[in-house]
Structure 1
Amino acid sequence: MASDLKLLHSLYLVIVFVVFQTLTVSNSDVLPSPDYPEVVPTSPAILSLPEPSKSQLRSHPYVRPPKPGIRAAYWPSYSSLPASAIETSYFTHIYYAFLVPSPTTYALNVTSDDLIRIPEFIHALRSKTPRVKTLLSIGGGGSNSTLFSIIAGSRAERGKFIKSTIDVARKYGFDGVDLDWEFPADDVDMANLAVLYKEWRRGLVSESLTSRKPRLLLTSAVHFAAGFFHDEPRSYPAREMSKYLDWVSPMCFDYHGSWDNFTGLHSALNDPNSNISTVYGIGSWIKSGIPPNKLVMGLPVYGRTWKLQDPKVNGVGAPAVGVGPGDEGTLVYYKIIEFNKKNHAVVAFDSNAVSFYSNAGDSWIGYEDVPSIRLKVRFARSLGLGGYFFWALGQDYRWAISGEGRYLILTLI
């Protein structure tokens, strides 16, 4: 355990050397309420960070020439943003979210709404320039985890499920399929998940040879860390994931929320007091054996909110007595901008977590803004990750966050 912590600490030091060498905000910087194009931190800070060793420089891919990355986003089928309004120049891949399996047949359940929305989605994106790849995402946070456990645990049910995903993807013209199982409950589920990935990939290859069409992509959204503890400890089947998936998408958000009685930054890059952070999570995936270029890091386009116990005690970790503005403690980015402006909120940047937070009265919001997204994308590039994805389309403000990611990828190339 001590050696693991030492390894992760060394990884973190190398990361911060690259990511924060141009960082110019201290923890105490307080900024006025944002009004776009962006809030730009201006106060200088001197960071005392050690130089990386020669062996560290040789072992980390940020010293290699960068390559174009994946810039993906999920489009919820219930989104108020029409598929025709998606600005594809900011993305390379768009996920349709979500379809779920039938609890009786284990085939995908294409609802009456999906019968309308999927063709609209595919037609709209095919008509746009530049072209993007489309993936059919299956599951989601509100889906039945037990149902996926049943499917993964039976050869017959796996076969029905896999065939259905291929049939639906081909019928509507998707370029790939994506699994978002939140979350396998134990090591038995994880072992069965490994078999599901293996058989799924075989099915995709076989179908490609038979149809003489390009193989459908196979990806998976996963917990932010490769191993985690909820009711009991469990670890993802990293070897099989590396072998059978085109890429793995750690969801680097929802570290804190309405389940906490204190404020928190729900997509913190680093947390000096715990391993609930993106640095730890991505480090754990790399340590598990997933190549960095197969990791596509998740970024949120929404914040988490709380009601402060005492408006005068309003920093990160302040006591809270419930949720703040938004839907059950969740507020999408464009509404955060509106809230901050309307309520003359005080906005602060936490340079350790590389995240923003704001408060007005007893309302407190932790979220990402353009400068923090900029640094998190640089973090992904510094490790040679495959790219990033956003949850979700329809939550941005005039494409400010989406555009920032595209700008950084292109300029770093």
Structure 2
Amino acid sequence: MYFKIKIFLFIYTILNAVNINASENDEHIICYFNSQAAYVRGYGKFDIERIDPTLCTHVVYMSAGIDRNGFVTSLDPDLDLPEGRDFYGQVNALKKDHPHLKTLLSIDVDTIIARNRTQWLIGSSIRFLGDYGFDGLNLNWGESTSDSFFEYLTRLKVNYDAYGLLLYTSVNSKNLVGYDVATFCRNFHIVGLKTFDLHGPWKNITGHHSPLHAANGEDAVDSTLEYFLKQGCPANKVVIGLSSFGRTYTLVDEDLYKVGAPSAGLGHSGMETEIPGFVSYYEHDYDLFVGRTWRVHFDEFAEVPYYVDTRRWVSIDSPESLAKKAQYALRKQIAGVLFWTLDTDDFRSGVLTYPLLRAVNEAISAGYTEVTTEEEHTTEEVTENPTTEIPTVTTEIPVPGELCTSEGFAPHPADCSKFILCMRNPLGQLVAYELQCPSVQALVQSVWDQGSSVCSLPQIDYCSAPTSLQKFANLIPVKNN
């Protein structure tokens, strides 16, 4: 049995395994999480201790509710409150060691409008936030709209300013049809654009759910942002939405698989989230490892990937595509990004936690670099092998020059259970990384098989002293920057 390396995602992770800290950036990185993920079974169980405050400038707790009298209340006292697991207290305790961090409590606008008791929202929300230590409120817009509530926002903002509280919102352009966008934006400190779920399996053709660009007037990240900016929403108040979940489809015909292919409807669900048509990044990432042979496509125009396996079709972002969106936010000089959500990223990865969020942080930390050459809009296909485990990154090491004359794998000069990955860093310099092959069920140490470029069980002696570098035909090439 071989332990093959999930090469293209693994290489990206290694190159971005650097020290980053959101507190050092001027841009907002607003991290949402669903508290109900605490009840997900198995790997997807998400507790407050899983939050990495160094990767966020703000953490938004979803969600609180409105009781029948119109007062803000906990939706899950056993989870939220001190007499239970005290998630409210735990999330706000993160600020003690991370003073840059701000915490917000989210409430669904649909609930507020349905209760129709906005007269109590100002006072009860200010008291509730103060009682539990939150720095502000996030209003999350769903399907409902209300003229009276739009007018009420001005009073809400004035009172929040008086108490030094933050007032944020997460919204999509459809929520504001017929309303003055500039006035709406004035009533919030930050306006988060939900630039995801722009396409989904509720339609009868496949499509990217969060494309950076789109043709023929289709919704996209860039067109949504441009709409808000042109309508008078100040750039320094706007953040674009980045997602860590995907939308899944079932193809009508597996031979018709490109964007816009006929879809029979909802696709497979994640094994833990169990929602048809939906998959978290950690579930999709695991699915790439085991039991399936995925074809990975990258749409150069939309600047996002999609994944195909027989009749299964998935639209989900990768670290690379989210980095591109973060770079776009920098180029547009907006306030930053929102990340939806922490609990659907791979927050427990054995190699590097939060690969998507880290890619966003790294792109923002690196700053925006002006592109001087026009990119050709083509579609590139890469085939990825299924795997079961990936090696552990140990460290960047100095090695003799003859071991890294080009990109690729090389045997370790001294330890059969390790090997060398030669990669170019963003400056174009060859760098050697020492990697450790995994143990099998914590009992048997796998060893490096140079001929097949995999970690293998040691029944056969694959570990002979290297005499020269070999070329590796099954290494997926990495584009040089």
TM class by shorter chain equals: 0.7 to 0.9
Which has the larger Rg?
A: 2
Amino acid at match of 1:341: F
The question of 1:318 aligning with 2:318 is answered no
Contact 2:95 2:102 in 1 (8 A): no
Match of 2:285 among 337, 343, 348: 337
SS of corresponding position for 2:157: helix
**TM-score normalized by the length of structure 2:** 0.65
Partner of 1:272: 215
What is the correspondence of 1:293-308 to structure 2 with a 5 Å cutoff? 293-308=236-251
Amino acid at match of 2:49: S
Partner of 2:375: none
Q: Which stretches in structure 1 are left out of the alignment for 5+ residues?
A: 1-31, 41-66, 152-156, 209-214, 228-233
The question of 1:167 aligning with 2:141 is answered no
For residues 302-347 of structure 1, what are the alpha-carbon distances to aligned partners after superposition, in whole Å with 9 as ceiling and x for unaligned?
Answer: 1100111111111111111122221210100111111123212000
The question of 1:87 aligning with 2:52 is answered yes
Partner of 2:338: 389
**CA displacement at 1:194 relative to structure 2:** 2.9
Aligned residues: 330
CA RMSD, 1 decimal = 2.3
Contact 1:35 1:337 in 2 (8 A): no
Judged with a 3 Å threshold, the aligned counterparts in structure 2 of structure 1 residues 69 and 146 are, in CA distance, closer, same or farther, namely closer
Judged with a 3 Å threshold, the aligned counterparts in structure 2 of structure 1 residues 117 and 354 are, in CA distance, closer, same or farther, namely farther
Greater shift, 298-307 or 255-264, is seen at: 255-264
The question of 1:373 aligning with 2:322 is answered yes
- How far, CA to CA, are the matches of 2:211 and 2:9 in structure 1? 23
Judged with a 3 Å threshold, the aligned counterparts in structure 2 of structure 1 residues 114 and 302 are, in CA distance, closer, same or farther, namely same
Partner of 2:226: 283
SS of corresponding position for 1:297: strand
**TM-score normalized by the length of structure 1:** 0.75
Contact 1:219 1:245 in 2 (8 A): yes
Match of 2:69 among 105, 109, 113: 105
What is the correspondence of 1:13-412 to structure 2 with a 5 Å cutoff? 34-38=8-12, 68-79=26-37, 80-102=45-67, 104-110=68-74, 111-112=76-77, 113-115=79-81, 116-129=85-98, 131-139=100-108, 145=110, 147-148=112-113, 151=116, 157-185=117-145, 189=146, 191-206=147-162, 208=163, 215-224=164-173, 227=176, 234-326=177-269, 327-342=275-290, 343-397=292-346, 398-412=353-367
Amino acid at match of 1:235: G
**CA displacement at 1:120 relative to structure 2:** 4.0
Contact 1:306 1:364 in 2 (8 A): yes
Higher helix content, 1 or 2: 1
- How far, CA to CA, are the matches of 1:35 and 1:93 in structure 2? 27
Contact 1:332 1:396 in 2 (8 A): yes
Higher RCO, 1 vs 2 (CA within 8 Å, ≥6 residues apart): 1
**CA displacement at 1:270 relative to structure 2:** 1.4
SS of corresponding position for 1:96: strand
- How far, CA to CA, are the matches of 1:39 and 1:84 in structure 2? 22
**CA displacement at 1:183 relative to structure 2:** 2.8
Q: Which stretches in structure 2 are left out of the alignment for 5+ residues?
A: 1-5, 15-24, 38-44, 270-274, 347-352, 369-481
Identity %, equivalent residues: 25
